[in-house]
Amino acid sequence: MNKRRVLRFILLTGVLFPSVLAPVAFGLSDAYKGNIYEVGTLKSVDSVLRVKVGDRAPDFTLPSISGQKVSLSQFLEKKNVVLSFVPAAWTPVCSDQWPGYNIAKDIFNQYDAILLGITVDNIPTLFAWTNQMGQVWFPVLSDFWPHGAVAKRYGVLRSDGISERALFVIDKTGILRYIDVHDINKRPALEDLMGALEKLK
């Protein structure tokens, strides 16, 4: 019986070993050189949503890196809106998410959608970080003060003060049509977001 247990242990170890030790891959760009802070693997989700598909999206007004304030309500009846919360500037996965959206402007336009990028970092940090990506075409908003208030209202503020990696699609009438609170360690596939926008047509 003991031998059997030992054999089972070896078997399990062999199967689990590669998957446990294999690090989370994120494909970091060399553009950031040594300026990315390694955060390791985090708890995939650490908050509880406070909105659901079908709800009216809570309005907010936040400062942007361009110096202007941006409100969700200013897009009512004009544009579909994608809110992209990313956890923090200068971290691995986040640094390789928005640059992809940056070359997908045509696709967002095709769906008559505006993208609003949001983090809980302050404006100077966001300014420096997004400059490293090249100029981004979409508004980048700071949910720094009161700290993470918008993230908290949507239910994507984690217990350590950063936000989830979350996508919200809001239609022109202000209704939430898609929510993806993604595993913080992984980048959401672009086609999933675009599939959600396709459904608004």
Partner 1 sequence: MRRILTVLTMITLLFSIIVFPALAANKPPEKGEALPVINLPVPRNAEERNYLGLSGGGLFKIPQIKAHGVIVELFSMYCPFCQKDAPGVNELYRLIENSAVLKNKIKLIGIGVGNSPYEVEVFKKTYDVPFPLFPDKDFVIHKVCGEVRTPYYMVVKINEDGTHQIVHSQLGNYLGAEPFLEVVLKTLGLK
Nearest in space to 53 (alpha carbons), one of 196, 190, 149, 182: 196
DSSP 8-state class, residue 163: B
Residue 178, SS3 per DSSP: strand
Cα–Cα distance list, 99 to 18, 31, 137 (Å) = 31, 11, 10
Answer for the pair 44, 183: CB distance below 8 angstroms, yes or no. yes
Which residues are paired to 140 by β-bridges?
Answer: 117
Q: Which of residues 90-129 bind partner 1 (CB under 8 A)?
A: 96-97, 99-100, 102-104, 106-107
Which of 73, 112, 124, 134 binds partner 1 (CB under 8 A)? It is 134
* DSSP letter for each residue of 38-51: P-----S--S--S-
Instruction: State yes or no: residue 15 binds partner 1 (CB under 8 A).
Output: yes
Size of the site for partner 1 (CB under 8 A): 37
- Residue identified by tokens 């672009």 is 190
Of 45 and 194, CB closest to partner 1: 194
Instruction: State yes or no: residue 137 binds partner 1 (CB under 8 A).
Output: no
Of 101 and 154, CB closest to partner 1: 101
Which of 18, 40, 54, 146 binds partner 1 (CB under 8 A)? It is 18
Instruction: State yes or no: residue 23 binds partner 1 (CB under 8 A).
Output: yes
Annotated active-site residue in 70, 72, 86, 94: 94
**Is 94 part of the annotated catalytic residue set?**
yes
Residue 179 token pair: 């929510």
What is the pattern of x (binds partner 1, CB under 8 A) and - over residues 35-74? ----------------------------------------
Rounded Cα gap, residues 132 and 96, in angstroms: 11
Residue 42 token pair: 């985090």
Residue 41 token pair: 């693997």
Which of 124, 189, 198, 199 binds partner 1 (CB under 8 A)? It is 189
Rounded Cα gap, residues 71 and 78, in angstroms: 13
Of 25 and 53, CB closest to partner 1: 25
Which of 1, 54, 159, 191 binds partner 1 (CB under 8 A)? It is 191
Catalytic residues: 94
Q: Which residues contact partner 1 (rule: CB under 8 A)?
A: 3-4, 7-8, 10-11, 14-15, 17-18, 21-23, 25-31, 96-97, 99-100, 102-104, 106-107, 132-134, 187, 189-191, 194
